[in-house]
Amino acid sequence: MLLANQLSKQYRTAHGDYLTVLDHVSFELAPGDTFSIVGPSGSGKTTLLGLCAGLDRASSGTIELNGVKLDDLSEDERAAVRNRYVGFVFQNFQLIPTLTALENVMVPLELRNEPNAEAIARQWLEKVGLGARLDHYPTQLSGGEQQRVCIARAFSTSPKILFADEPTGNLDAENAAGIVDLIFDLNRTAGTTLVLVTHDLDLARRTQRILKLKGGKVEELIAA
Ligand SMILES: Nc1ncnc2c1ncn2[C@@H]1O[C@H](COP(=O)(O)OP(=O)(O)OP(=O)(O)O)[C@@H](O)[C@H]1O
Ligand SMILES: [Mg+2]
């Protein structure tokens, strides 16, 4: 399902030299696997997730998603692969500010020419407990509510693989537990492969394997 091979990412600093934020990271996921990435702030977790989901390009190394080598693709081709196979829950939400909650969830469905986009979007917003907030704009929603809109948006297209960056980071215990149950339900019922970034070790332990990152390197890869 996902083959990450020797992924490295460098950024050029203002001084013209290079900062390595990911250093030769490799792992492999079969369809239906559950996987979590943990590590201190700044260790490269979000960067790694972005490379795996085809949102960003590696400086070196290769990535294969659902049998497609992402490195060979143009920007548009990668966007098409993402829309078809990938769900992504961003750490900073990335909702479109001029669209309501309902319209935000409808975006990826409409991109797929889904005729029942509105009904499906409503269903998912109800499942995450936002049935009474459909017409609210992102600025009219709390942080936790925005996060749940993101989760509804990511789930609505029934992705083959779900990447979630701190999916429960802004939620209280009760809402977090509900969202975690939904994520694992999706894995059990639809076979969705899960890749979670989390600071919550209890959540990480619910996945089959845990990758510990430190300073951009794999510190440990453990079976949970
Ligand atoms: N566009 C960029 N240009 C330069 N440096 C960057 C850029 N994006 C990220 N970095 C640096 O890369 C490192 C890893 O960032 P990343 O966001 O992957 O960390 P993280 O493990 O997700 O941290 P957190 O737990 O705080 O979310 C950080 O030191 C960050 O400053
Ligand atoms: Mg991060």
pLDDT at 224: 73
**CA 183–ligand 2 middle distance (angstroms):** 19
Confirm if 91 and 166 have CB atoms less than 8 A apart.
yes
Mutate to test the pocket of ligand 1, among 10, 38, 45, 218 (most ligand atoms within 8 A of CB): 45
**CA 132–ligand 2 middle distance (angstroms):** 30
pLDDT digit string, tens, across residues 16-55:
899 999 999 999 999 999 999 999 999 999 999 999 999 8
* Domains with residue ranges and CATH for the chain: 2-223 (3.40.50.300)
- Residues 6+ away with beta carbon under 8 Å from 210: 35, 36, 37, 38, 204, 220, 221, 222, 224
DSSP H/E element including 96? none
Please state the atom number of ligand 1 nearest to the C-alpha of residue 44: 18
pLDDT of 119 above 80: yes
Decide: helix, strand or coil at residue 205. helix
pLDDT at 50: 94
Q: Which of 55, 54, 49 is nearest to 198 (CA)?
A: 49
pLDDT digit string, tens, across residues 176-214:
888 898 899 889 998 999 999 999 999 999 999 999 999
pLDDT at 190: 87
Confidence of residue 175 (pLDDT cuts 50, 70, 90): confident
**CA 168–ligand 1 middle distance (angstroms):** 19
Check residues 217 and 174 and name the one with the higher pLDDT. 217
Confidence of residue 150 (pLDDT cuts 50, 70, 90): very high
Mutate to test the pocket of ligand 1, among 47, 165, 197, 211 (most ligand atoms within 8 A of CB): 47
pLDDT at 37: 98
User: Can you tell me the mean pLDDT for 115-124?
Assistant: 97
Decide: helix, strand or coil at residue 163. strand
Confidence of residue 11 (pLDDT cuts 50, 70, 90): very high
pTM of the model: 0.91
Taking CA atoms, 152 is separated from 4, 50, 60, in Å, by 27, 19, 33
Please provide the average confidence, as pLDDT, over all residues in the chain.
Answer: 93
- The residue with tokens 């490295």 is 8
Q: Which residue, judged by its Cα, is nearest atom 19 of ligand 1?
A: 42
Taking CA atoms, 120 is separated from 43, 102, 114, 153, in Å, by 37, 10, 9, 10
Cα-to-chain-centroid distance, residue 162:
5
pLDDT at 122: 98
**CA 43–ligand 2 middle distance (angstroms):** 8
Q: Which residues of 15-25 are buried (b: 16+ CB within 10 A; e: fewer)?
A: eeeeeebbbeb
pLDDT at 15: 87
Angle of CA points 218, 90, 47, to nearest 5°: 30
Residues within a 6 A CB radius of ligand 1: 11, 19, 21, 39, 41-47, 91
pLDDT at 34: 97
Confidence of residue 154 (pLDDT cuts 50, 70, 90): very high
Looking at the DSSP bridge assignments, the partners of residue 218 are 213
pLDDT digit string, tens, across residues 121-132:
999 999 999 999
Q: Which residue, judged by its Cα, is nearest atom 7 of ligand 1?
A: 11
**CA 11–ligand 1 middle distance (angstroms):** 10
Alpha carbons 148 and 199: distance in angstroms, whole number: 18
